[in-house]
């Protein structure tokens, strides 16, 4: 979860606090963090661990992505990993990334030469022609 003072705020999103792991808190991926509060966000914000501080949310960092890409609205979050774009999908809405305009946009990035990997639970898919199954690797 990012600094609320940033120009584009998290609002009530919290998707990273659900989907990503926080090893120093023994928080597994895809389970809500015990410190997340729906209305107020992280209840240990000032003391949140390094892995939370270090998360670079694609939606927050990309002003050109419209509001319907906010992760709780879209059903997935975006971040970069060694040049790849990782699309981490909420397992409760596994098809979310396929809705318009998401899939078309993601495939456009892949066609333009950026590696785009969609992760749904333990399955990874590298978008391309054709798509390729890959080993899921998570933050
Ligand atoms: S996924 Fe992004 S927008 Fe949502 S709470 Fe985390 S940092 Fe904020
Ligand atoms: S410690 Fe705070 S920022 Fe980190 S996952 Fe938990 S609620 Fe989110």
Q: Tell how far CA 129 is from the center of its chain.
A: 24
As given in the structure block, the two tokens for residue 80 are 């970069």
pLDDT, mean over the chain: 93
Whether the per-residue pLDDT at 4 is higher than 60: the answer is no
Percentage of the chain beyond pLDDT 90 is 88
As given in the structure block, the two tokens for residue 56 are 């670079």
35 lines ligand 2 (CB under 6 A): yes
41 lines ligand 1 (CB under 6 A): no
- Overall average pLDDT of the 32-41 stretch: 95
Note whether 116 and 126 are within 8 A (CB). yes
Measured between alpha carbons, how far is 95 from 130 in angstroms, rounded to an integer?
18
- The Å distance, Cα 77 to ligand 1 centre, comes to 8
pLDDT at position 10, please? 93
pLDDT at position 5, please? 45
89: phi then psi, degrees, rounded to nearest 5? -95, 140
- Which of 50, 70, 51, 74 shows the shortest CA–CA distance to 59? 70
Nearest CA to ligand 1 atom 8: 10
Nearest CA to ligand 2 atom 8: 17
- The Å distance, Cα 35 to ligand 1 centre, comes to 14
Residues 6+ apart with CB under 8 A from 110: 116, 126, 127, 128
Each residue of 38-81: pLDDT tens digit? 989 999 999 999 999 999 999 999 999 999 999 999 999 999 99
């Amino acid at each position: 979860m990012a600094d609320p003072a940033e120009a584009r705020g998290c609002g009530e999103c919290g998707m990273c606090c659900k989907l990503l792991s926080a090893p120093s808190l023994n928080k597994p991926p895809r389970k809500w963090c015990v410190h997340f509060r729906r209305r107020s966000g992280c209840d240990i914000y000032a003391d949140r661990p390094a892995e939370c501080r270090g998360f670079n949310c694609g939606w927050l960092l990309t002003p050109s992505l419209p509001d319907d890409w906010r992760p709780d609205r879209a059903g997935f979050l975006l971040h970069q990993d060694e040049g790849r774009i990782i699309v981490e999908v909420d397992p409760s809405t596994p098809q979310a990334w396929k809705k318009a305009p998401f899939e078309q946009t993601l495939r456009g990035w892949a066609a333009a030469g950026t590696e785009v990997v969609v992760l749904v639970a333990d399955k990874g898919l590298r978008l391309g022609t054709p798509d390729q199954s890959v080993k899921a690797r998570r933050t």
